[in-house]
Chains A and B, each alone.
Chain A
């Protein structure tokens, strides 16, 4: 199962790198440093997604996530 996923990912990546070289490179009018990296947005999407997942988890676990009654403890005064 794991192997199958990895192969699918690599195959998609190769397809997009080819597409990037064939269609995108040399055709964009506004050039950024990453415009010359074929498949940049594949890597960006993959790593960005992992960064958001683990970044958010890290923030949440160590700092931001609290019990649901965190604000509710003052209820007894109502």
Chain B
């Protein structure tokens, strides 16, 4: 029976999204917040261990399953939905409002899904609803990036569906639990890692997220990848491949982020890097590892949302988002800088900010299992994160060359949204128990030890010193960076050439040829005799070097080509002679 303890939260958001367009325009944003608050009330009433099943065709679907892992993700998703709603309170675009509600709802649907059909169902709604947050920007680049996003995720969705069906056929069970290998699980793993943007399946993320609307990208940054982390944690915890991919991915993200010119693209690459920590934690698979991945997802959703809010505010106020077009905003947008720096310190793992207490848990998990290389890779990624987000991005946006930008006033909701998110980031950093009490397993980890503090401060301060030394040599350029999306963006031009242009050209050539042939027939048909005469004369001209013949008239005139009577009599006589000779001889 459905009750408060096993209520599927997605229903609230879906109902909210359906009702929202029917309400008067000026109360829609407030209604969106109300939906989040209602969902939060239902969320705190969920009970660990509760589940809700209902029969569908021949199967028992488990549309809601509550345990500590899903609850931890559920909390942060509902909170982020609320904060995003405040930040986007000024938005009057119904499409964005409906899409963001559906997006949050379907993410919660996946997180609380107990069976694979429910998971697949919400997985696809997530793709579609997030797509509209990109398209809602209504620029040509956004439209094109959206189409690519759709195609990539349609591929992922198909892999997931194939995997689920195969899994059902092999095991007879639809329950979403740990997978034990085999083709079906690899297909599902492919779909999960695609959504988690594990290289080489990462191209879609930095391609599409910077093209979303100002508020849309705040939502985008939070959900898709973290839902995938949740799915990996439940289905594939302890897969060593994931640990190595995660560690490499963390460094991959920071290297590409350093090359990015678009502010929100730089942040997008840091999503890849940060999700690398989570994937790594999941891959380690111990209680500390999964705890670390969950804690980092929780903290990351908030500070990454905050960073996207910060850069989004700059984009909203100035209309620019590229480092080559920004600079010198310090006096005009100092409040945004403060909020942005809270996010930047959190993602860099500065003590007293949220990243410090979550990131270190993943590193600690790797230390406990004695994976030295992983520890070093994760620390290297940490350096790159502080370099790009803590130093480079704010330096080129708020300081550096003053480009005399005239920022427009920013709605108060954006500041309130950033302020609240900053508060939570600091609260988690100062009082980690807030976060640790929500984690799936009991936490025996203490981030604030003297040795950990000394290590972290060394990393951060010397990264800062190195940046300070080479700051004169750093300059931003008006370029894009090739990534794995190259493999479907460049060949797409070839495919377009082969399947569209070449086919058209072939059709054109055949058409041209048949028209020419028809013209030729018409010409010959108008004066067949003249044509034959001309052909013979021409052949003579070429072979026997006779005089070049005058052209024949285009139309047939019987008098010109009438054969002389004497010639005909000669022919008849010759034929008669031949026949008579034949008769006489045989």
A contact set with B: CB distance below 8 Å: 5, 8-9, 12-13, 16, 19-20, 23-24, 27-28, 30, 32-33, 39, 41-53, 55-57, 59-60, 63-68, 70-71, 73-74, 77
Contact = CB atoms under 8 A, between A and B. Distances in A.
Interface in B488-543: 489-490, 492-493, 496, 500-501
Contact of B255 (A12, A20, A55): A55
Contacts of A20: 454, 458
Interface string B462-504: 1101111110001001111111000001101100100011000
B259 A74 contact: no
Contact of B454 (A16, A60, A63): A16
B258 A53 contact: yes
A65 B454 contact: no
Contacts, number: 141
Contacts of B569: none
A49 B383 contact: yes
B480 A45 contact: no
A45 B468 contact: no
Contacts of A19: 454
B380 interface: yes
Interface in B411-464: 450-451, 454-463
Given A12-B465, A44-B376, A44-B462, 6 more contacts: A41-B459, A44-B458, A49-B383, A57-B259, A63-B482, A67-B480
Nearest to A49: B466
Residue of B256, B368, B470, B479 with highest tally of chain A CB at under 10 A: B479
A42 B255 contact: no
Contacts of A41: 379, 454-456, 458-459, 462
A66 B462 contact: no
Contact of A44 (B372, B459, B501): B459
Given A45-B460, A45-B462, A49-B387, A33 B478 contact: no
Interface residues of B, number: 49
Nearest to A41: B458
B463 A45 contact: yes
Nearest to A70: B480
B387 A53 contact: yes
B481 A45 contact: no
B367 interface: yes
Nearest to A28: B451
Dominant SS among interface residues on chain B: helix
Given A28-B451, A65-B479, A46 B465 contact: yes
In the A-B complex, list the 4 residue pairs whose CB atoms are closest, starting with the nearest: A45-B462, A49-B466, A41-B458, A46-B462
Nearest to A30: B367
A59 B379 CA distance: 21
A57 B458 CA distance: 24
Contacts of B450: 23-24, 27
Interface in B115-137: none
Contact of B481 (A44, A49, A60, A74): A60
A39 B384 CA distance: 19
B370 interface: yes
Contacts of A23: 450-451, 454
Given A9-B465, A16-B454, A24-B455, A45 B258 contact: no
Given A24-B450, A64-B481, A64-B482, A49 B455 contact: no
B470 A50 contact: yes
B391 to A, nearest CB: 9
B254 interface: yes
B375 interface: yes
Contact of B462 (A5, A49, A52, A55): A49
A48 B386 CA distance: 12
Contacts of B477: 65
A48 B376 CA distance: 10
A57 B500 CA distance: 38
A64 B477 CA distance: 13
A56 B501 CA distance: 38
B479 A66 contact: yes
Contact of A16 (B380, B458, B496): B458
Contacts of A51: 380
A28 B467 CA distance: 29
A67 B31 CA distance: 44
B260 to A, nearest CB: 10
A74 B456 CA distance: 48
Given A44-B379, A45-B383, A30 B465 contact: no
A20 B462 CA distance: 14
Contact of A32 (B375, B463, B474): B375
A67 B454 contact: no
A13 to B, nearest CB: 8
Contacts of A56: 255-256, 258-259
Contact of A64 (B259, B368, B380): B259
Contacts of A47: 466
B94 to A, nearest CB: 28
Nearest to B468: A5
B489 A71 contact: yes
21 contacts: A5-B468, A9-B469, A16-B454, A19-B454, A24-B451, A32-B372, A33-B372, A39-B458, A41-B455, A42-B461, A44-B379, A45-B458, A50-B466, A50-B470, A52-B387, A53-B387, A56-B256, A65-B259, A71-B489, A71-B490, A74-B493
Nearest to B392: A53
B482 A66 contact: yes
A71 B461 CA distance: 39
